[in-house]
Amino acid sequence: MSLFRTSKASASVAAAVAASAAGLVLILPSLEDAVSALALTPTLTPNTETKAKVDESDCASATASASASATAWRTLSIQIIHYATTATATTTSTVDNEKDSNGDNGSDSERVKQAAELLMQIINQIHNIDNADDVNNDKNNMNMNSDDAISILIDTLWLAGSMLSDTTKNTTTSTSTSKVTTNATPYKLLCQLLTLLATPSPSPSPSHTPTTSHNPTLPLPLPIPCLPFRPLVTSLEPSLLRDANILKGTRTHELFLKKLRKCNTDMYYRQHKVNLMQEESEGYAKFMTYLVNIGSNSESDGDGSGDGISDGDCVRNDVLECMGTFDLDPNRCLDLTLDILESQIQSALANNSNNNSSTSTSTTATSTSPSVSTSPLVQVMKNSPEESKTVHLLLAICAMFPMDHVTHLMGFRYIHYANGIDIDSTSKSKASKKYKYKLIRPPRSLFVTTGILTCHGLLSLQALRAHLPPLEEITAQYDLHVLEVKTRIKKMGVVSLNSSSSVSASASASASTKKEAAGDGNRNGEEGEEIPQTIVEQMTHHQLISLVCILLEMGVEWDTVMELLGNGNGNGKDKESRRSTSAADAAAAAAQVLIQCACLHPPLGGLLCQITEGVIETLYTKRVTTGTVGADMCLDDRDRDRKDEDDGEVMEEINKDGEGIYSLYPLHGSRSSEQTYGQTLPPLGEDSTLTQLCTHLIKNNSGDMGCIMEAIVMSGCLATHPILYSKVCRLVHAMLLDEKKKQASTSMDLEELDLDLDPATEALLERFLVPSLSLFPFNPAMASECWSVLSLLPYHIRYALYASWRQYGLEKAALRSRVVTPAPKPLANIASEVTTGIATKYVLKRMSKDNIRDMGRQVSKISHNNPLVVFTLMLNQIESYDNLIVMMVETFKFMGVLSLDIMGYCLLVSMGGEGEGRNKLKDDGVNAAQWLSSLETFTGAFYKRFPDVELRGMLAYFMRRLHQGQILELGVLQSLLKMAGGYGFVDSGPGSVASLSAVQLDGRCGSLALRRETSDFGIVEKVNVRSSTRLRYSLQGGDRGVTFLILLSQLRNKVLYCKGRESPKQIKLIGNLYDKCHRTLNTMLAFLTDGSQDGLGDSTSTRSAKGKGAIATYAESIPTLGELIRDFNVGTADAWAMCRPLIRAALFAEEDTMMTTDTTSSDSSDATTIDNIPKHLQPYHPTSKEMVSNYSFMLPKDAWQYITPTLFRRFYSYGIYDLTYPQERYENEISRLKKEIDRLLMLQKGGRGAMGMQASLAAAAAAAGGSQQDIREATTFTREHGQELDRYRYSVER
């Protein structure tokens, strides 16, 4: 339309139309001439005889001139339109005789119809010729096509509609004698013609199909098309479209005009934010084209000009030339450069993602390398062959501008994404005057571009932080996150019986939480939009946190990254306060912000774990991986070869033209080499010690690794990185073992050495290694790794670590400690404890004797990560229900070593090892409380079943309590001696000795073997030799057993004569406590001096004896008789009782010496005989100088007038075993044991002799209600029968 309006023919066409309208003559013959000029053969109407056909020779001559076709068609269309719009004139005498209101007669309608058919037939024939050219592949034909013909026709219609205005609709010519009127105005006829042209017509019959001699295979013509709707609406005036019924209806016409006005307003009146001036469009277009093709331009120009100019200098010269030639704005040019740079980086990221997806299968098969895997972003930065050159050239352009300009332009991009866009500004109503916003997520390429500019020194992160969200927003969101997690933890395990109210309450609580999280300034959504459920989901796309993640993933230096989280320039403070702020305070504040970011954004915690793993990787490879068996067995030969080939290909690609040729990092940066880029922190050296490792990792809280480890612990992100935890455990284990070897002497066993730890190592174990175990549920491997480190430490350090793990309470009780504790327990650990507690309660409620094996395995599975929680709940159940003791002890056989060790600590806590504890007496003030009695029984059964559990902590606690004068827990020690030590037969029980039978009294006059057999009428409890030996070893180590004996002897008098702080004790309680001290003293004395089990235990339990027996070890620990009475205030009877086993041993040794030497020699004397006995027994011989010299102060001087030293010595040195000999009881017991041996041998052999015995055993089992399996086991010689047979034989021999 525009071409037509500006053409030179418009004037002639207008003149022709005007002349035709004025002349109102028929021009049908001239139409035929114009048609012949177009070389077409149209048929105006089927019944018109005046229309001649055009000769084919004329058609060929007409097609030879392609340039004249458009002009001829324009002339023809004007003449046809003029023919159609010329109405017939009639003369009338009055106005009353005019036609009907439409003003149309048959001749006018026929002319319009003929004109429409003629126009459409011509266009149809032009269209058929185009199709024929396409069929014959005639590309040299330059004839006018159908689209051009339609365009010319529509332009002609527009011109006619513009010239036939409304004033010509009713043209009237008045004369003096008559009035001449037109039946139809030209404008209405034009509308009728346009209506016919816009209406589809039926296809012509085959008889009217033209034929040509030059193309006999021309296909049948297509149906006569109508003029397209879109060009008509685009070109014609709205009024003409309305009158021609193309825009039907008033509403459609008004809507069209409304849209037209809106488009005109957008085109001419609306101002855009970024509007390049029209006079600069050419310069910016050339500049943009140069930037897009900068890589190819540099390649076509070569590496540089002939003068030795580099690519960067050439690019800078070209940019300066373009900017100077077109007078371009430098800031706009820089902004365009940053756009192209970001697009190139986005392309590099997309190419890398495609490569990773295509090679994921092969990478999985060969990914067992011990080194830390490089992040995908670092791989892109180090190897981008397609984009590296372009990126470096664009960075060279950015280097031409000041750093502040680059920083602020990048900051404006972040502000654009932070502000969002208004997506519903037109939907404001009176009821709701709010806009709806849609937040735009910044692309990953924007953050990577920021990191690359930072690496190249072209951008200042400290200046960029002014354009990012403030740090106060992170702190506020962190506080909301803590409140949200606390609320969720408090609701865990809570069951409400009122379901409806609970649902409504939970719904309102969640709604209030969401409302607080959204805040007044949050524009993330309004009514009808979904709001994220948690704060963590809201902070997923936080700009500052996302930028920190990308920078860390790229390997930007740590100090540079921390500029984003520091105090910066101290906005809002004066210069004096900013100067007073020390570097340590700024680092501490940045570390606190890092911890908050890690809690709000879990991927950041994962990056911190990867950084830590990279820091220790070199040291780990040197100290752990190197030289270990199986380090190179993870891959077979085929996979190892494939891995080597892949590594070689990568290095070849990187080093193809030089080191780092495809890297996006600075090629000549401040670092030593390109390989150092991608590492946020440098790795530790291979020669680092344990102290240096721990100091570097966690001791300096405000340092680099200190804040990283603190963020890892507080955020709980270590749960998704068990490899890091395992590596730290293995590294610390290897270095602790080396330190232990250095501290140990050549003759000292490593297991006996108590390792001394420095504060840095203790801090690493206390704040990272032990508490982090809670983050790995159902993972026994992590518990084993942790125990490999703790097993090298003394028990008191382990128990201190367990106490720090407990940290002011477990489960929900730990939430209260977060208010007053400077270093609170992480919320992730508390949530894990609550989950473990709920699962433990669920299992304990369903535990019974029948399903103990299945439930025991479930409890063991639950207790791997939080054994403190599980065992505390189990001990609470035991304290209330003593019938669960047997089942609980059986449950522990499925536990790990770490769990069993922690159980020993939990027993101490339950008995009050961490404070004053609970009331240990019942309300009557005499008997022990129920919980204490249950713990006494459980402790003995537990240590009997698991003798390898640490006992020294328990014994140290009892020793301290006895030293304080508290003997209420003495029943636990007594239970250990009876059950774990197997010496329950020594104690006569809480009742009086008068309750013993004659058999039991005779048995107590004999040896320990006789007392064991007669204590319970021949029923001997099974003794665990390992537990007994282990208990004896624990008591012998550090002289603990002798210390207990001295304390117990001192406490007896204290119980009688010392008044308590509270109200006076009852006499019955005093008697019970006195008897308990006496019984425990006798039991422990017999246990420590019993040499019958020397050599029976395992080698590990008797390692401290070094070949010595129980008597020898006891003699080396106990003071002499005089020292006991004089220095330790032990009573005379108790002191002689402690020394009596040694005195008897010295006398027996003397007899053995006299039997082996010549006693008939006259030179023999008492002194010579004493010198021949062992040295440890010489001070306890009755006639030795040490013993005789101590007799004098044991009695008053007046008493020695009536008694001799020999009588005194024999009175205290003899026991009941020396005064009477129960020979009859010995014979009866030996006879009974022999009968039992014969019975078991007969059962073992079987045969007819055992039939009667088996029948009686079966009857007894059936009478007891046993099953068929129980009856079968009772009549079969089992393993228990074999052990009983061995015991009988051993007792007979003794």
- Which two three-digit tokens encode residue 1279? 């393993």
Distance, first Cα to last Cα, the chain: 129
Highest mean pLDDT among 26-40, 173-187, 348-362: 348-362
- Given a cut of 50, is residue 2 above it in pLDDT? no
pLDDT band of residue 344 (cuts 50, 70, 90) is: very high
Highest mean pLDDT among 80-84, 882-886, 1181-1185, 1250-1254: 882-886
If you average pLDDT over residues 343-368, what whole number do you get?
64
- Given a cut of 70, is residue 721 above it in pLDDT? yes
If you average pLDDT over residues 160-189, what whole number do you get?
57
Q: Which residue has the tokens 């459920």?
A: 533
pLDDT band of residue 245 (cuts 50, 70, 90) is: confident
* Model pLDDT, residue 1262: 83
The secondary structure of 455-507 as a DSSP string is HTT---HHHHGGGSPPHHHHHHHHHHHHHHHHHHHHHTT---S-HHHHHHHHH
Task: Decide which of 711 and 638 is more confident.
Answer: 711
Task: Decide which of 267 and 765 is more confident.
Answer: 765
Using DSSP, state whether 424 is helix, strand or coil.
coil
Q: Which residue has the tokens 């994921």?
A: 360
Q: How many residues are recorded in the chain?
A: 1294
* Model pLDDT, residue 594: 92
If you average pLDDT over residues 238-260, what whole number do you get?
81
Tell me how far apart the alpha carbons of residues 954 and 964 are, in angstroms, rounded to a whole number: 16
Q: Which residue has the tokens 């199709």?
A: 131
pLDDT, tens digit (0-9, with 9 covering 90-100), for 1197-1217: 888 888 998 899 889 888 888
pLDDT band of residue 649 (cuts 50, 70, 90) is: very low
Cβ contact 176:153 at 8 Å:
no
The residues that bridge with 174 in the sheet, in sequence order, are 179
Task: Decide which of 422 and 898 is more confident.
Answer: 898
Lowest average pLDDT, out of 365-374, 789-798, 1033-1042, goes to 365-374
pLDDT, tens digit (0-9, with 9 covering 90-100), for 797-848: 999 999 999 887 888 988 876 665 567 889 999 999 999 999 999 999 999 9
Task: Decide which of 431 and 567 is more confident.
Answer: 567
Tell me how far apart the alpha carbons of residues 232 and 826 are, in angstroms, rounded to a whole number: 73
pLDDT, tens digit (0-9, with 9 covering 90-100), for 1276-1285: 888 888 888 8
**Which residues neighbour 1208 within 8 Å (Cβ) at sequence distance 6 or greater?**
1191, 1194, 1195
Specify the DSSP element, H or E, that contains 602: helix 602-620
**Which residues neighbour 1237 within 8 Å (Cβ) at sequence distance 6 or greater?**
1285, 1288, 1289, 1292
* Model pLDDT, residue 1254: 78
Percent of the chain beyond pLDDT 90? Answer: 30
Q: Are strands 437-438 and 179-182 parallel, antiparallel or unpaired?
A: unpaired
- Given a cut of 70, is residue 528 above it in pLDDT? no
- Given a cut of 50, is residue 516 above it in pLDDT? no
**Which residues neighbour 352 within 8 Å (Cβ) at sequence distance 6 or greater?**
376, 379, 380, 384
If you average pLDDT over residues 84-93, what whole number do you get?
58
Tell me how far apart the alpha carbons of residues 1014 and 1017 are, in angstroms, rounded to a whole number: 5
* Model pLDDT, residue 1219: 85
If you average pLDDT over residues 219-247, what whole number do you get?
74
Tell me how far apart the alpha carbons of residues 242 and 252 are, in angstroms, rounded to a whole number: 9
Tell me how far apart the alpha carbons of residues 423 and 322 are, in angstroms, rounded to a whole number: 38
Closest CA to 698 of 761, 752, 638: 761
Tell me how far apart the alpha carbons of residues 774 and 805 are, in angstroms, rounded to a whole number: 9
Strand ranges for 143-245 from DSSP E: 172-174, 179-182
If you average pLDDT over residues 345-373, what whole number do you get?
59
Q: Are strands 179-182 and 172-174 parallel, antiparallel or unpaired?
A: antiparallel
928: DSSP letter: B
Task: Decide which of 724 and 585 is more confident.
Answer: 724
Using DSSP, state whether 180 is helix, strand or coil.
strand
Tell me how far apart the alpha carbons of residues 268 and 271 are, in angstroms, rounded to a whole number: 8
If you average pLDDT over residues 284-306, what whole number do you get?
72
Residue 182's φ and ψ, nearest 5 degrees, are: -90, 140
Specify the DSSP element, H or E, that contains 92: strand 89-92
Using DSSP, state whether 786 is helix, strand or coil.
helix
Percent of the chain beyond pLDDT 70? Answer: 70
* Model pLDDT, residue 840: 95
